[in-house]
Chain A
Amino acid sequence: MRTPLFDRRDFLKAAGASFVAALAPAAQARTAEADALFASAYQNRGGGFGVAILTEQGKIVHSVDLPDRGHDITFDPVSRRSVVFARQPGTFAVVFDHTNKAEPVTIPSVAGRHFFGHGVFSPDGKLLYATENDFDNSEGMIGIYDATDAFRRIGEFPTHGVGPHELLLCPDGKTLAIANGGIETHPDFGAAKLNIPTMKPSLVFVDRETGDLVESHELPPALHKLSIRHMDFDRDGTLWFGCQHEGPATERPALVGRARMGERFELVDLPETALIGLRNYVGSVAANPAAGTVAISSPQGNSLVVLDAVTGAVASVRDLTEVCGIAPDSAGFLASTGTGEIVPPEGSAHSDPHYVWDNHMLRIEG
């Protein structure tokens, strides 16, 4: 099930703390930087699916086979375990650590629900929350799992919308931000979108302890086909979100927005050339808090756009074929592509002919 592992921390431990202490400060900083790892789901050339832990150089240090296609990954720094969620309408999530210490644990969906591909842990690592579909009732749900009890499902609460996609834990540690994409699907009919003419996406804030709806934001009626799907928090705690437009390709709605609980919810205009390059589809959103930037990727537009998180101005636009996975890395972003490349902020891309990368990449601090 698992591939052999070269664990950098084991090396450092073996080398002894004195090895690190003996390094000059600049070298120590580089070590800390290099110690970050990244996680992404993949498909291999043989057609199999899995999830990998990677270095910045694109070297796979650990991988776990998956029964079907994965999507996003979340990490619990307390137990140092990750969870990869099946791509919608998948019915599994797999908990794994990055060493060979424990066998992966598979969390099956309960009857009447499937996963949407995203989830988060509570700050203490004791609970896992996942976006799920109550497909017979077309209602978004958050499934709650007890990480201290073999990830037993202990409850759920509604997302107050249809087709929830990404969810994040707010900086307060208490509230969940949930992107209700608004698109109704049912596993009987594959990926067919069942309600495009009447879809109504929303961004909601929900108290994770009570399930109470704290705030709900909707786009104006003229933009009801703008599916809110991916998000990240910037350095100031502002939530940036990215959208996918389900209306005609000739329409050019704004695709990026930002929100702060109790303060604002707004779309952000991009210059026309950057907007057109996104092809009405934002596949992933990631902030780099240290750099004060936010990146949005579009695999349909083959475009990676970096914004200044304060002004919203475009800092850079990069053409990358089928770019989607993005994660902060030093002063920029590490990106992965559907053609198998791992692209560092600077320097050349790394390509492994055996893998193509799924939509999301997670940074894991060493």
Chain B
Amino acid sequence: MTIVASPTPPTALIDRLVGIVGPAHCLFREGELFAYECDGLTLAPRTPLAVVLPATTEEVARIVRACRDFDRSFVPRGAGTGLSGGAHATEDSVLIECSRMNRVLEIDPGNRLAVVQPGVVNAELSQAVAHLGLFYAPDPSSQQACTIGGNIAENSGGPHTLKYGTTTNHILALEMVLPDGRIERFGNRVGEGPGFDWVGAIVGSEGTLGIVTEACVRLTPIPEGVETLLAIFDDVVAACRAVGRVIRSGVVPAAMEIVDRRTIEAVEASVYAAGLPKSAGAVLIVELDGNPVCLDGEIRLIHEACRREGCQAIERARNDEERTRFWRARKGAFGAMGRLAPDLYVHDAVVPRVHLPAILEKICEICDRYRLKLANVFHAGDGNLHPNICFDKRDPDELERVMKAGAEILEACVAVGGVISGEHGIGVEKRDYMHLVFDDSDLECMTRLRQTFNPDAACNPGKMIPTPRFCVEANPRARGYDAVPIG
């Protein structure tokens, strides 16, 4: 890819932005923009025109109006941990970074809710309410860094969504700056506003309907009892079958995660070694929580399910240290894989759970065929796969193989009734694969929703809905993202 020269920075716009947020919070030097050229997805980087860091809703609205006056698009960004490029800018858009809007505005323990600014960090919200016996349930793997605003944009999930649901189940009301600069409130504190469920539509809209500037979120009581089990299987197929049996047994674990042989090997060779036996072909981690009197019975059912699928051994964590050790096999995977090559492509797709064993074989076959280093860790209880592919994007041939394998994986998942994203979102990464799942009329309905809020696609252009649809809008501002540029 050739480096496209940025259009000359419009000094008048910069001056106006500086006037809104102050010089310390408006960035436009080369290095500053360079660091903002991508989020957690390092493919397809694009340098923004400027980066502004507002502190209030009013500032966000004024920034949006300034961008409109200068006919520039704008892109909201949280911590930039997203993996689908949802916070990638274009060369003529202003990046609105919400990291400074990080205050918890109100905590209402009686009604189990909190009002927060979008830049509040997921894990820190849970910490802030822990003394009240409450927590914020959605727990994406990046929870120590990602923000509630970003979670709302992506409808983030996590290991424990099996029982607690994703972000959409925990957002009651929102304040949003619309793409025309108006400030609107949606929903209410009981989570049921009169009229359309705007909140439900905004959550997961990847920042294409406006910029969320405040959220009222549901808090959940910390469960009284927690039990973590680790079951070791000969192979991943048996582990998947055990998951099926657990689901059939009527137990709803808080989390059910599988780590495959390739991941176990990588983890055990790294500093995250969890002490798993060499014979382990797959590991299933099951976490149960709730009323302690019920947990013993549930553990018996899990044991039964695993034994019937011939598990080698099953361990029960006796304390928090052991629980941490069990989870290390899961949580260390990302890091252990990351060390194997300069780049790591964390895929995300969902299949009906009964198809897990077959699809895993298929994914391994695809990656072997493209000579790629692959490992699987996944939210088995949800059927949410995360094939991790290690590569070096400086090697154009390898990069091409990664992209081809990725496309085949998505096609295989869709073929069995799955979808192309369970929690990372579409962004720029998968925009051109939307046709695998949806036909033109389905996408047309999505376009209608976007046009209602964002008629000229000035807010976060080029995301989620594929290009042909985009051109239909005949919007000169929407240039960029013709195809995902590589490299």
- Verify that A and B bind, or say they do not: no
